[in-house]
Chain A
Amino acid sequence: MEPSTGAKAFDVEAIRKHFPILKERVYGKPLTYLDNAATTQKPQIVIDTLSQFYSRENANIHRGIFCLSEQATKRYKSSRHRVQEFLNAGSDKEIIFVRGTTEAINLVVHCYGRAFLKAGDEVLITGMEHHSNIVPWQMLAEQTGIRLKVAPINDRGELETGEFKKLLTGNVKFVSIVHVSNALGTINPVKELVRLAHEAGAVTLVDGAQAVAHTAVDVRDIGCDFYAFSGHKLLGPTGIGVLYGKKELLEKMPPYQGGGDMIRTVTFEKTTYNDLPYKFEAGTPHIAGVIGLGAAIDYIRSIGLDKVEAYEQELLKYGTEQILQVPGLRLIGTALKKSAILSFVIGEAHAHDIGTILDRQGIAIRAGHHCAMPVMQRFNVPATTRASLAFYNTKEEIDRLVAALHEVTEVFR
C-alpha cells in the first residue's frame, strides 16, 4: 500500500456527496463552483437543520415558557457554545451574533470607535483590506476626526511588515487587519501583527471572513481583541455571522442597538442593559441561522480543519502550476503564505468577458474588484478574475477551468 499523506487520505468524492448542489448542471455542463470566497456551498446537514427547525421546532427564544421555545433557546445557546469552542474563546459571553463580518466590524467601529477613539487618534489598516474594513473607519473619521493610516503591500501582495512597524506610532489606538485577503489570498501573520499592535498600545480587530473555513483559528493564540467572520463563508446560512470580543472590552462598550433582549429593565425614565452577550443582540435574532451555523461548525470540525487546509494547499499548488500554463496569464497575489485563491488577469481580456466565457462552461468564478478597489489600484488593474477553492473542489475541476481559460485566449487572440 502507498504511504498515505494527509491529503491522499482525504476522500473528496465522499465529501462532495454531502453537498447536493455539486450535482447540478449549468448550460448542460457539470457545475464547477470556484467562487467559495464569495460564499461557500451548504452541506445537506445544514440544509436539513434549517428545514427541520422551521418544520418542527420553530419558536422565539428567551420568551416562551412552552416546550418549543425552551428547546429553541437551548439550541441557540448550544450554537453559541460551539462557536466559542470553534474559535477557542474563553467564554461564550464573548461570542456576539451579528449578520456577518461587515456588521461585526461596523459594530466595533460604532460601539468601540465612537466611545473610545477621539480626534487625532489613528487607526491602522493594511493595503489589502476589503471595503468592509475601510469604509466604516472612513465614516468614523468623518464623524470624530480620527485618522486612517494604511500599511502598504509589496508586489507579491504581502504586507510590508517593516512599514507596518514604522506606522505603529503612539497615536495609533486601533489596528484592524484582514487575516486572509479575499482578493489576493495572502495569509497575514496576524499573531505577530497583533503582538506588535499591543506593544504599541493599540486595540486589535482581525477580519477572519476568508480564514475560518480554511484554517483552524484560535483567537486566544492570535491574541486579538476582536475577531469577525460570516456564517455563509463557513458552509452556513447567509445573514448570520460572529463577532468575538474580549469580555473586558465588550463590557465597557455601550450597546449597539436598542430593543428587546438587550435590556434588563425598562421604564420611561431609565433603562438598564442586559449582560453579555445579549447587550449586543437587540431584537429577535436569526435563530435558524444561528442553529444552522452550529450545524456547519459541527460538520467542518468532523472533517477536520487540518485536513481541509492540507488538501486545499495541495489544490492550490496544482492549480497554480496548471493555470500558469495559460498564455499571457498573470497571477495577482503570489504571497509565499497563501490561501487557495487564484486571482489573475489575461492579456487584454477583461475579467467580465472571461467570466462570461467560463460561465457557459458551467464554471462559476468571480470577476471584478472583489470589494477591494485599493488592491486593484495597487496592482494597476481594473479588475481580476478569481477562482477561490474549497475542500470539495477537485483537480479535475481545475483542469476544466484551465481548459476554459485556453478558450478565452483563443477568443482574445
Chain B
Amino acid sequence: MSGDIRELYQQMIMDHNKNPRNFHALKESNRNAEGYNPLCGDHFKVFLQMDGDVIKDIAFEGAGCAISKASASMMTTALKGKTRQEARALFEEVHKMLSRRIGEVFDASKVGKLATLAGVCEFPARVKCASLAWHTMCEALEPTGKQVTTE
C-alpha cells in the first residue's frame, strides 16, 4: 500500500468513519442546512443549536465516503462550544489546509486534531469530500439560501 494512501486513511479517520460522533438529528437545533454533491452522492445535514453566538450543540446525519463522513464527525467535535467567529475562523484554516498546494506547509497548531485531514490535499479529487460538511455548517451558521455543494 502506498504511503499517501496510509496517510489518507489513517486510524483516526477510519475511526471517525466507523463510529461517527454526534451522528444524529438534533431536536433542539435552531439552525440547520443540507449539503449535497450530486455527482458523487455525498449528502449530509448539519444541525446547530445556537445559544446567542455560541454553538451550544452540533450534530450531523447523512451518508458519504469515509473522508466526508470523518471530516463531518471531526468538525462536530471541534466546534461544540465555539462562538460563531471561532467557527468561521476554523473553517478558514481548514479550507486553507485542504486546498493548499501539494508540499506547501501549513500551521497545524491552528487546526488541532483536524490536521489528520492534511493529507487530503494530495488527492485533489477528494478535497470536495472533506469540505462538504464544513460548507454545510457555514450555511447553517450564516444562511445565504444557496444550495450547498462543493462539486
Contacts and interface: CB of A to CB of B under 8 A. Distances in A.
A360 B40 contact: no
Interface stretch (B4-12, B26-34, B101-109): B4-12
A248 interface: no
A352 B65 contact: yes
Interface in B14-63: 14, 17-18, 39-41, 63
Given A369-B41, A411-B9, A352 B1 contact: no
Contacts of A412: 14, 66
Nearest to A413: B14
Contact of B66 (A353, A407, A410): A353
B123 A356 contact: yes
A356 B126 contact: yes
Contacts of A348: 17-18
Given A27-B2, A410-B1, A411-B5, A353 B67 contact: yes
Interface in A238-287: none
A129 to B, nearest CB: 18
Contact of A353 (B4, B41, B63, B65): B65
Interface in A352-366: 352-353, 356-357, 360-361
Contact of A360 (B4, B64, B129): B4
Given A352-B126, A357-B5, A360-B4, A411 B14 contact: yes
Contact of B41 (A27, A382, A407): A382
Contacts of B9: 353, 357, 411
Contacts of B40: 352, 367-368, 383
Contact of B64 (A350, A368, A410): A350
A333 to B, nearest CB: 18
A199 B45 CA distance: 50
B7 to A, nearest CB: 11
A347 B41 CA distance: 17
A407 B1 CA distance: 7
Interface residues of B, number: 21
B1 A350 contact: no
Contacts of A353: 9, 65-67
Interface in B65-88: 65-67
A349 B63 CA distance: 12
A356 B125 contact: yes
A382 B39 contact: no
A353 B2 CA distance: 14
A407 to B, nearest CB: 5
Contacts of A383: 40-41
Contacts of B125: 356
B66 A350 contact: yes
A383 B66 CA distance: 13
Interface string A115-142: 0000000000000000000000000000
A170 to B, nearest CB: 38
A368 B126 contact: no
Contacts of A360: 2, 4-5
A9 B1 CA distance: 36
23 contacts: A348-B17, A349-B66, A350-B64, A350-B65, A350-B66, A352-B65, A352-B67, A352-B129, A353-B9, A353-B66, A356-B5, A356-B8, A356-B125, A357-B5, A360-B2, A361-B2, A368-B40, A368-B41, A382-B41, A382-B63, A383-B41, A411-B5, A411-B9
Interface of B: 1-2, 4-5, 8-9, 14, 17-18, 39-41, 63-67, 123, 125-126, 129
Given A352-B40, A353-B9, 14 more contacts: A348-B18, A351-B65, A352-B67, A352-B126, A352-B129, A356-B5, A356-B8, A357-B5, A360-B4, A361-B2, A367-B40, A382-B41, A411-B9, A411-B14
Interface of A: 27, 348-353, 356-357, 360-361, 367-369, 382-383, 407, 410-412
